[in-house]
A and B are shown apart, each in its own frame.
Chain A
Amino acid sequence: QSVLTQPPSASGTPGQRVTISCSGSSSNIETNTVNWYHQLPGTPPKLLIYSNNERPSGVPDRFSGSKSGTSASLAISGLQSEDEADYYCAAWDDSLNGWVFGGGTKLTVL
């Protein structure tokens, strides 16, 4: 069981906006910044969002992150077929002294 809680699946149609939630606690999300990754089958995770809402160079502005209290969310606007992937949230946990991940959300583009 993952320390951070994500819905196992999400879906949307091309052009839609979808959000993926990530719930944590006072020792991780509330006090530390959140990263989001996406992962295609057979490939390593790729950083999508860091520091709650910052995008690395090359990540489209269709992807945005937010955080409030012990929860965070990833929003994807203008959904495209290539967005179909697994998405993970992550944060440092001060109690565990380590990174904790969500269980992952499989995004399907209908």
Chain B
Amino acid sequence: EVQLVESGGGLVQPGGSLRLSCAASGFTFSSYGMNWVRQAPGKGLEWISYISDSSTTIYYTDSVKGRFTISRDNAKNSLYLQMNSLRAEDTAVYYCARGGTVDYWGQGTLVTVSS
């Protein structure tokens, strides 16, 4: 069974940093690209970043370029999102989602940016 479990969310002040993690199991992690998608409270889905299986291809949405960094450790079956210079508008549930098809999603981790 495919499982994706996010962690690392919490309350952070504007300008602060957080590192999200996504632990994958139930599939060959190193064979799949991975995504981060977020959902602000009461709002729709927003894709924010993609990393290919071997980390050679990385994409970001414009609103997070230069502030967020996606990475992965295939030996640990883990995906990461380093978030710096956080803003109030980054407040959202952050989901990791598998592959170029974005088929399986984790349960999400809530990031709240507030003073």
Seen from chain A, the residues whose Cβ lies within 8 Å of a Cβ on chain B are 2, 35, 37, 43-47, 50-51, 56, 88, 90, 92, 96-104
Compute how far the CA of A35 lies from the CA of B101 in the bound complex, rounded to whole angstroms: 8
Question: Is B45 a contact of A104 with CB atoms below 8 Å?
Answer: yes
**New contact pairs (17) apart from A47-B102, A90-B45, A92-B100, CB-CB < 8 Å:** A35-B101, A37-B45, A44-B107, A47-B101, A47-B104, A51-B101, A56-B103, A90-B47, A96-B61, A97-B59, A98-B47, A98-B61, A99-B35, A99-B102, A101-B45, A101-B47, A102-B44
Say if the beta carbon of B32 comes within 8 Å of chain A: no
Q: List 9 contacting pairs A-B, 8 Å CB cutoff, sorted by A.
A: A37-B45, A43-B107, A44-B107, A56-B103, A88-B45, A90-B102, A98-B50, A100-B47, A102-B44
* Chain B interface, number of residues (Cβ within 8 angstroms): 20
Closest beta carbon of chain A to B14's beta carbon, Å: 24
Question: Is B105 a contact of A44 with CB atoms below 8 Å?
Answer: yes
Main secondary structure of the interface of A (DSSP, over half): strand
Compute how far the CA of A44 lies from the CA of B98 in the bound complex, rounded to whole angstroms: 13
Question: Is A101 a contact of B46 with CB atoms below 8 Å?
Answer: yes
Question: Is B44 a contact of A101 with CB atoms below 8 Å?
Answer: yes
Question: Is B44 a contact of A99 with CB atoms below 8 Å?
Answer: no
Q: What string of 1s and 0s marks CB contacts (under 8 Å) between B71-115 and chain A?
A: 000000000000000000000000100001111111110000000
Compute how far the CA of A94 lies from the CA of B14 in the bound complex, rounded to whole angstroms: 32
Say if the beta carbon of B37 comes within 8 Å of chain A: yes
- A56, A98, A102 — which one has the most chain B CB atoms within 10 A of its CB? A98
Compute how far the CA of A44 lies from the CA of B110 in the bound complex, rounded to whole angstroms: 12
Question: Is A44 a contact of B50 with CB atoms below 8 Å?
Answer: no
Q: Across the interface, which residues of B come within 8 angstroms of A37, CB to CB?
A: 45
Compute how far the CA of A56 lies from the CA of B105 in the bound complex, rounded to whole angstroms: 14
| Known pairs A98-B50, A99-B50, A103-B44; A35 contacts B102 (CB<8 A) | yes
- B44, B61, B101 — which one has the most chain A CB atoms within 10 A of its CB? B44
Compute how far the CA of A33 lies from the CA of B35 in the bound complex, rounded to whole angstroms: 17
Q: What string of 1s and 0s marks CB contacts (under 8 Å) between B50-75 and chain A?
A: 10000000011100000000000000
